[in-house]
A = this chain, B = another copy of it.
Amino acid sequence: MAKKNDSLLIFPGSSSKQLTRAICRQLRVKPGECQSMHFSDGNTFVRVGQNVRGKDVFFVQTLSWPVNDNFMEILFYIDAFKRASANSVTAVIPFFSYGKGDKKDEPRVSIRARVCADCLEAAGVDRIVTMDLHAPQIQGFFRVPVDHLYALPIVEPHFRRIVKKNDWVAVAPDVGAAKLVNGYAKMFGVPVAISEKVRKGHREEASVRRIIGDVSGRHALIVDDFTISGGTLIATAERLKREGAKDIYATVAHGIFSKGSAARIEAAPIKELVITDSVEYRFEPLPKNVKIISAASLFAEAIHSIHHRTSVSELFPF
């Protein structure tokens, strides 16, 4: 990446218009002008509305529903920026939805996250900024630099007021989340428990086989990178209750909330579920026990650091 440009250009993708506005407000810049169209035949078309020649461009687009439309839109914008002679294009992808497809855990499947990484690079992307990837190894799917941010620093102040060392436990709803939960546990000085999840096939429901570690008599903070239907969180919370846990809080970086999930989350024994605004579109009004903390400042800081070539590393909590 070459030297900083005079002016900072941040363009909003279809799926991250509010977040981009919030980021721009923090950085006191106007969002870039661009236009996305989705035609009746299903084709996506994009057009950049201002000169970007020689500029360092940031394009913000999360991979929320409709994921594939949003992904293709990123590719087309990268191409449009590059063909319009931008100096560099940074794709800011708050929620990299296809991170779930990070391995061949059964025969003859695709490693979808690598396919997406290859497409982004084929389109000409110069850098990725993202948050709470499903696995940190996904950075290695890219040859271009990835700035991998974490939601922890922005949710920490909130939980700092609530979580107490002596009678809390941080709970991983899945062995895969154990490492992430470890970070939260260390930050708050509490022990870890792990829920052993049993998932059948690729359907999204899962059940809890066993809680490993002590939770009885403790308040619990369940931590994960994302939730779609809330299913795993709810199943974990219910099991924690049965195992004698007291108040149950939860936090995920990315709250998708598929159709029909709102009522179930509201009805679950979860006192508060804290998420970020990495995903904007939701099918239904937010459940009452869900609280959003904006990640705009986190992304604004990262973009500012990248633009001014200062270190981003102090943003990493682990």
- Tell me if B41 and A105 are in contact (CB < 8 A): no
The yes or no answer to A119 lying at the interface (CB within 8 A) is: yes
- Tell me if A311 and B107 are in contact (CB < 8 A): yes
The yes or no answer to A164 lying at the interface (CB within 8 A) is: no
List chain B residues, Cβ under 8 A from A313.
Answer: 51, 107-108
Among the 9-residue stretches A23-31, A94-102, A267-275, the one with 4 or more Cβ atoms under 8 Å from chain B is A94-102
The yes or no answer to A242 lying at the interface (CB within 8 A) is: no
Closest Cβ of chain B to A13, distance in Å, is 13
- Tell me if A53 and B305 are in contact (CB < 8 A): yes
Interface positions, chain A 171-219, Cβ under 8 Å from B, are 175-176, 178-179, 182, 191-194, 196, 202, 204, 210, 212-213
Count identical subunits in the complex. 6
List chain B residues, Cβ under 8 A from A135.
Answer: 103, 135, 137
A107-B84, A213-B213, A313-B107 given; A259·B139 CB < 8 A: no
Among the 9-residue stretches A75-83, A155-163, A244-252, A289-297, the one with 4 or more Cβ atoms under 8 Å from chain B is A75-83
Closest Cβ of chain B to A264, distance in Å, is 13
List chain B residues, Cβ under 8 A from A154.
Answer: none
A122-B118, A213-B212 given; A82·B145 CB < 8 A: yes
A108 to B57, CA, bound (A): 13
A213 to B84, CA, bound (A): 38
List chain B residues, Cβ under 8 A from A148.
Answer: 104
List chain B residues, Cβ under 8 A from A311.
Answer: 51, 53, 107
List chain B residues, Cβ under 8 A from A212.
Answer: 191-194, 212-213
A63 to B210, CA, bound (A): 38
List chain B residues, Cβ under 8 A from A72.
Answer: 68, 71-72
Seen from chain A, the residues whose Cβ lies within 8 Å of a Cβ on chain B are: 1-5, 37, 39-49, 51-55, 63-69, 71-72, 75-77, 79-85, 87, 97-98, 100-115, 118-119, 121-124, 127, 135-141, 143, 145-146, 148, 175-176, 178-179, 182, 191-194, 196, 202, 204, 210, 212-213, 228-229, 256, 258-259, 305-306, 309-313, 316, 318
